[in-house]
Chains A and B, each alone.
Chain A
Amino acid sequence: MENETTERDLRDRLDLIENMIAEGRRKSESWGWAFVLWGLAYYVAFFWGNWGHFAYAWPVTVIAASLLTMLGFWRNGSKGRPNTTLGRAIAAVWWTTGLAMFILYLSLAFSGRLADYHLSVAIAGAMLGAANAACAAMLRWMSQFLCAIVWWSTCVAASFGSASQTTDAFLGAIFLCQIVFGIYAMTLEARRRRQHEALHA
């Protein structure tokens, strides 16, 4: 009898974990627009900085994208979705990584140590890869893990490749891991909403 209860308890606990992972993934899918927004922001900052030769292109674009993300977060938050432990963990991963990258890059730029273009792309690739991999491990999401691999490959390409190879790798990674992955997440969310509406119609 006691064994049965323990087994049932374990099954309940596993069910709860599975439900929380599924809920976390649904929540991540509803943030697909943020991936697309940041992908576009990276492109704007990259081309503005390289073609427009504007020294503050990156900080200005990143601050603008952060404000837009906060606006979206505020609108999403007002929909009354309950927060989960995994949701808080995922949010912590992105906020902390974003803030640390912003402060690190700003310090490196102002101290004049960010002269090497390869190095700046390598650091970005490593940190974005780590954030994607941590989320993928928590949510058991293979597509996001592929994004992490793409970012890490960019890090390696930036360390050992030429300037043009680094640029190609960086722009390609933004396209695949921000734009394509963001649209993929948005599509999944839209499909789920349609199914939900059809069920409740």
Chain B
Amino acid sequence: MPNETTERDLKERLELIENMIAEGRRKCESWGWAFLLWGIAYYVAIAWSALGSAAWSWIAWPITMIAAGILTGVLASRVKRNQPATNLGRAMSAIWSVMGTVLFLVLMAVGLSGRADLHLIVAIAGGMLAVANGISSIILRWKMQFACALVWLATAVGACFTTTNTQIAVLSLSAIFFCQIVFGIYAMTLDARRRKQHEALHA
């Protein structure tokens, strides 16, 4: 009898965990717009720093990142109002907010101290974005996001071995396209499809 109870307890616990993971993934899908927003922000900052005057080149990144951060904060507060807090949700928001803040601060510190070249900056950013995507994909058991983590890691490794600025530009622009724009649109599509199904069921 106690064995049966333990087995049932374990099964219930597993079901609860599975439900939480599914809920976490649904929640992550509803954040697809943030991936897209940051992908566009990276492109704006790259174009601004490359095409603008020398005075603007070093200030383009901080301004665009702060603007994207504020925009994310405003839109996130609207999204959060409609969603109940879960453990996984807290874990996800902790990972992304910490990684984003640290990436911003470390690149600012390294850039202002004049210690980094373009290759190193892309290597650090790629490594940290690989960590954030990797953690999120392992927790949510999401293969697509794990593929994004691998792309960012490959970009970080590639940035170390590329020799020209053209190569590094192609590498980083492709990674942003796949891991931010394509992945963001994919998540948004999944979220929209799920909402439509939900509305059809409750109609």
Spell out A's residues near B (CB within 8 Å). 13, 17, 20-21, 82, 84-86, 88-89, 92-93, 95-97, 99-101, 103-104, 107-108, 110-111, 113, 116, 118-119, 122-123, 126-127, 129-131, 133-134, 137-138, 152, 155-156, 159-160
Contact = CB atoms under 8 A, between A and B. Distances in A.
14 contacts: A82-B13, A89-B139, A93-B95, A96-B131, A103-B127, A107-B123, A107-B161, A119-B116, A126-B103, A130-B99, A134-B95, A138-B91, A152-B102, A155-B106
B53 interface: no
B67 interface: no
Contact of A107 (B84, B90, B156): B156
Interface stretch (B39-47, B107-115, B170-178): B107-115
B161 to A, nearest CB: 5
A82 B13 CA distance: 9
B5 interface: no
A100 B161 CA distance: 16
Given A88-B139, A122-B106, A155-B106, A130 B98 contact: yes
Contact of B134 (A84, A92, A155): A92
B88 interface: yes
Given A113-B120, A118-B115, A96 B13 contact: no
B25 to A, nearest CB: 13
Given A103-B157, A104-B127, A138 B90 contact: yes
A159 B113 CA distance: 6
B135 A96 contact: yes
Contact of B115 (A84, A86, A119): A119
A107 B160 contact: yes
Contacts, number: 132
A134 B138 CA distance: 15
Given A17-B86, A100-B127, 9 more contacts: A84-B17, A86-B91, A113-B120, A126-B105, A127-B131, A129-B102, A134-B94, A134-B99, A155-B105
Contacts of B116: 119
Nearest to A135: B94
B11 to A, nearest CB: 12
B21 interface: yes
A116 to B, nearest CB: 6
B187 interface: no
Chain B, interface size category, equals: 35 or more
Q: Considering residues A82, A92, A95, A156, which has the most beta carbons from chain B within 10 angstroms of its beta carbon? A: A92
B102 A130 contact: yes
A108 B20 CA distance: 38
B94 A138 contact: yes
Nearest to B114: A159
Interface in B35-92: 84-88, 90-91
Contacts of B86: 17
Nearest to B127: A104
Contacts of A92: 134-135, 138-139
B124 A123 contact: yes
Given A92-B139, A113-B120, A130-B131, A159 B91 contact: no
A113 B160 contact: yes
Contacts of A126: 102-103, 105-106, 124, 128
Contacts of B148: none
A137 B13 CA distance: 24
